[in-house]
Amino acid sequence: MAEETKTRRRAAPKGYQKKNTDVSGYWSEDEPIHFIPRSVKLMDGNQIASKPSIIIVGELVERTILFKKDVDPWEGNSGDVVGVWYKPGMKDIALSAGLKTWLDKDLDENGNQRTVKMKKAGRNPMKCYVVQSAPGKETRIPISEDTRKEARSALTPFDDPNLRSVRAPLKVPGSEGEEHDDEEVDDNVPF
């Protein structure tokens, strides 16, 4: 009987679905995305390691255009696990864990994406996005993976605000002691 138990595969209870956090594709920003944010992955930035890159992992509610390196864009299906590369103008999405969420570029009357000038001179304007969620309890999207080394002390909207006083400010080499800006994340997709 013990030998039989070792080789026999055990079945999950009826109705359970297999979970997968592997992203099938990434939001292209060509059209809005309607999805349910489930988690975020944090990593060192591709171009500037001290700036974190962030992927929001979620489940598509409606079809939308997705992309992946070396693959032609395609239309993702409802239920697909997708990635959204976070940008500072998406900050309002941080409290949308488990809620159906609509994300799109914030367009002006001419169809151009709205931008906001940054306070510090010489910085690129921040792109603006529209974030709308279905009614429900606002919960911070949990961090499922954090591989940051250089960007470890950079705060993100997904970090626990209770830990803010514990984390040391990031000192950027050559910045003469300037602290890292909370809104600064690597906008460059690493492919």
Which DSSP string corresponds to 35-96?
Answer: EEEEEEEEEE-SS-TTSEEEEEEEEESS-EEEEETTEEEEEEPTT-EEEEE--GGGGGGGGB
Mean pLDDT of the chain: 83
* Confidence tier at 181 by pLDDT (50, 70, 90): very low
Global confidence as pTM: 0.76
Residue 22: other Cβ atoms inside 10 A: 7
* Confidence tier at 3 by pLDDT (50, 70, 90): low
* Confidence tier at 168 by pLDDT (50, 70, 90): very low
Q: How far apart are CA 58 and CA 80, in angstroms?
A: 8
* Confidence tier at 185 by pLDDT (50, 70, 90): low
Q: How far apart are CA 57 and CA 97, in angstroms?
A: 10
Q: How far apart are CA 118 and CA 115, in angstroms?
A: 9
Question: What was the pLDDT predicted at 22?
Answer: 83
Collapsed DSSP state (helix, strand, coil) of residue 129: strand
* Confidence tier at 78 by pLDDT (50, 70, 90): very high
Residue 63: phi and psi, rounded to 5, are -60, 145
What does DSSP say about strands 115-116 and 126-127: parallel, antiparallel, or unpaired?
A: antiparallel
